[in-house]
Amino acid sequence: MRRYSILALARNALGYHEGWERAWRAPEPKPEYDAIIVGGGGHGLATAYYLAKEHGITNVAVLEKGWLGGGNTGRNTTIVRSNYLWDESAALYEHSLKIWEGLSQELNYNVMFSQRGVMNLAHNLHDLRELKRRAHANRLNGIDCDFLSREQVGEYCPLINLSPDIRHPVLGATLQRRGGVARHDAVAWGFARAADARGVDIIQNCEVTGILREGGRVTGVETSRGTIRAKKIGLVTAGHSSVLAGMAGIRLPVESHPLQALVSEPVKPILDTVVMSNTVHAYVSQSDKGEMVIGAGIDPYVSYSQRGGFNVVQDTLHAIVEMFPMFSRLRMLRQWGGIVDTCPDASPILSKTPIEGLYINCGWGTGGFKATPGSGHVFAHTIARDEPHPLNAPFSLERFTTGRLVDEHGAAAVAH
Amino acid sequence: MLTIPCPWCGERDVHEFRSGGEAHLKRESRTDNLSDAEWADFLFLRANPKGEHAERWYHVHGCRRWFNAVRNTHTDTILAVYKPGEAKSEVSQ
Ligand SMILES: Cc1cc2nc3c(=O)[nH]c(=O)nc-3n(C[C@H](O)[C@H](O)[C@H](O)COP(=O)(O)OP(=O)(O)OC[C@H]3O[C@@H](n4cnc5c(N)ncnc54)[C@H](O)[C@@H]3O)c2cc1C
Ligand SMILES: [Zn+2]
């Protein structure tokens, strides 16, 4: 891998930018690997990268049915934060946030991580209590979190409508200043390039259609490009997790829902932070291009349509316009949906399975982008050592039988 | 899926309905007889298919009655609706 640098930029400028090498190879699948990762989203690519980097397992393939990041990784609103309530989640998301802080350097790829702050609004007494409780819990876990009064919200983000007589008045907010946004595609591409440089084969347009097993352990996968064998297989397919687990006869406590987002026409910089509201179900930030990036609540029914209903968009925009009356004149440019895998306790599953050599990383639902690097890091450990990293041990499949749920519905920001 | 045909009221805007999740789940009346795994199965495990799904809907802003539907979750096409107590329709094999 030729490193990106200011010198490389200058050198290539002299050659009219015709000399850049491909960011990753496009190899033919080999008949066998030491490990296969199914799903070329951020989590799958990060897993492959850390398998190679931390565990010396480089004979690895990432199999992606479409294109890299074409799932939720390339469809999300890119909010990164770690202000979760319980110790288990706080530790996992904070582990990830720490990696984000050095990720562009580590990958030699600009993921445009911008720590512009993430504000969570309170609109009623219950919200206030809930957010204060979470702020205290965050601080006990060493995670930065400020509580802002209504007036401080106005100082920090003057655009917000602070009128007391709107349907959901703003009464205060938490602010995680280290939170922010990143460039979603760059995260997929950066991990892909860095994994490829360490020998990982990244294979696109390769759909897994079956999981091969012998005597209770995995032996490989059937794909649209033939049979590929491996003794270790990690499933990292987000919205399609139930489909993939079903190929191995495993039922999951996961449901797949559309989650929609939309962007406005680009305007001059006017919003320099991320604003989220659980109660009215809307969140917004401004992209570097100037578009307002707006996220909705999930469509409430199970669906794989990657589309979602218009009424959900309408509800979200009602909320956005009440919070930011001046946005009412913005025209929306694009709208899309991704299929998110929601768990009953709004926490992910990073786990071994009843089948030897088969591992699953799913259930991130509406909020897994922020966890991409940390999730890949601990999941690689789980696959390489055949036992969970201490940070993901609480996020096993068994917790639904033992009852040790990690209920993060309050922190998850999108209700389901 | 912009509209849903309520078996009592006819075709109405999707906004009038609330989704009730997978249909035909059976709750054991003596839950203390269940093992932890069986109880977890009832509480948490769902079919979540990419394809035909039997599910419950509630016409909350209409007749306020529950009913069942079979929908293709890939295309969001509703294949059949039927009233509670009626058998899962012939459409779904
Ligand atoms: C609209 C929207 C907004 C969101 N906003 C945020 C946010 O602000 N902050 C946040 O933290 N999270 C957010 N999320 C959630 C976040 O996007 C996801 O949790 C995260 O990106 C999941 O990453 P992943 O790599 O696991 O999944 P994905 O990126 O979906 O990757 C899974 C891949 O598996 C592939 N695949 C599926 N089936 C097969 C098969 N049979 N064979 C081979 N490959 C297969 C898919 O094509 C896909 O590329 C949002 C999601 C959406 C949809
Ligand atoms: Zn009705």
Tell me: the pLDDT tens digits for A168-222? 999 999 999 999 999 999 999 999 999 999 999 999 999 999 999 999 999 999 9
Question: Which ligand is the nearest neighbour of the Cα of B59?
Answer: 2
The number of the ligand 1 atom at minimal distance from the alpha carbon of A206 is 43
Q: How far apart are CA A46 and CA A192, in angstroms?
A: 8
Nearest 5°: the CA angle A361, A365, A370 is 80
Contact by Cβ (8 Å): A79, A277: no
A383 min Cα distance to partner chain B (Å): 24
Write out the two tokens for A319. 């909320």
Ligand 1 pocket mutation pick from A89, A369, A370 by most atoms within 8 angstroms of CB: A369
The mean of the pLDDT values for chain B is 92
**Sheet bearing A332-342, strands edge to edge:** A146-149, A172-176, A118-122, A274-277, A282-286, A292-298, A255-264, A332-342
CATH fold of A113-180+255-342 reads D-Amino Acid Oxidase; Chain A, domain 2 (3.30.9)
The mean of the pLDDT values for chain A is 96
Q: Bigger pLDDT: B26 or A65?
A: A65
Residue A302 sits at the chain B interface (C-beta within 8 Å):
yes
Q: Within a domain: residue B63?
A: yes
Q: Within a domain: residue B7?
A: yes
Tell me: the pLDDT tens digits for A30-73? 999 999 999 999 999 999 999 999 999 999 999 999 999 999 99
Q: Within a domain: residue B90?
A: no
pLDDT of residue B87: 84
Give yes or no for residue A107 having a pLDDT over 90: yes
Confidence of residue B90 (pLDDT cuts 50, 70, 90): low
The number of the ligand 1 atom at minimal distance from the alpha carbon of A370 is 11
Q: Within a domain: residue B48?
A: yes
Q: Within a domain: residue B18?
A: yes
Name the closest-CA residue to atom 12, ligand 1.
A367
Confidence of residue A416 (pLDDT cuts 50, 70, 90): low
Number of CB atoms found within 10 A of residue A329's CB: 9
Instruction: Kindly provide the residue ranges of all beta strands, DSSP E only, lying in B1-93, ordered along the sequence.
Output: 3-6, 10-13, 18-22, 52-58, 66-72, 77-82
B7 min Cα distance to partner chain A (Å): 19
Between A and B, how many residue pairs show a Cβ–Cβ distance under 8 A?
66
pLDDT of residue A116: 98
- List pocket residues of ligand 1, CB cut-off 6 Å: A 38-44, 63-66, 70-73, 75-79, 207-208, 236-238, 240, 244, 259-261, 295, 338, 340, 364, 366-370
Question: For a pLDDT cut of 90, what percent of chain A falls above it?
Answer: 95
Q: Within a domain: residue B54?
A: yes
Name residues whose C-beta falls within 8 Å of residue A5's C-beta, 6 or more positions apart in sequence: none
B63 min Cα distance to partner chain A (Å): 20
Q: What is the mean pLDDT of the segment spanning A13-21?
A: 94
In CATH, the number for domain A27-78+185-253+345-412 is 3.50.50.60
**Sheet bearing A60-63, strands edge to edge:** A201-203, A60-63, A35-38, A232-235, A358-362, A349-352
Ligand 1 pocket mutation pick from A77, A237, A263, A275 by most atoms within 8 angstroms of CB: A237
Name the closest-CA residue to atom 49, ligand 1.
A71
pLDDT of residue A289: 94
Nearest 5°: the CA angle B46, B52, B55 is 55
Per the rule left: phi > 0, alpha: psi between -120 and 50, beta: everything else, A326 is alpha
Please, where are the H alpha helices in A108-204? 125-140, 150-156, 184-197
Confidence of residue A78 (pLDDT cuts 50, 70, 90): very high
Question: For a pLDDT cut of 70, what percent of chain A falls above it?
Answer: 99
Domain holding B17, by residue range, is 3-23+36-82
Residues of B in contact with A302 (CB under 8 A): 21-22, 46, 48, 53, 55, 73
Q: What is the dihedral of CA A288, A342, B78, A282, to 10 degrees?
A: -40
Residue A260 sits at the chain B interface (C-beta within 8 Å):
no
As a residue count, chain A comes to 416
pLDDT of residue B93: 43
Domain count, chain B: 1
Name residues whose C-beta falls within 8 Å of residue A282's C-beta, 6 or more positions apart in sequence: A276, A294, A295, A296, A316, A319, A320, A323
Give yes or no for residue A83 having a pLDDT over 60: yes
Q: What is the mean pLDDT of the segment spanning A18-40?
A: 97
Q: Within a domain: residue B68?
A: yes
The domain locations on chain A are 27-78+185-253+345-412, 113-180+255-342
Number of helices (H), then strands (E), in chain B: 1, 6
Centroid of ligand 2 to alpha carbon of B7 (angstroms): 7
The number of the ligand 1 atom at minimal distance from the alpha carbon of A362 is 26
B84 min Cα distance to partner chain A (Å): 19
Contact by Cβ (8 Å): A171, A323: no
pLDDT of residue B91: 54
Nearest 5°: the CA angle A315, A299, A379 is 125
- Indicate yes or no: CB of A307 within 8 angstroms of CB of B46: no
pLDDT of residue B1: 74
Q: How far apart are CA A92 and CA A88, in angstroms?
A: 6
Which CATH number do you get for residue B46?
A: 3.30.2270.10
- Indicate yes or no: CB of B18 within 8 angstroms of CB of A311: no
Residues of A in contact with B46 (CB under 8 A): 242, 251, 253-255, 302
Nearest C-alpha neighbor of A111 from the set A51, A23, A188: A188
DSSP state of A196: H
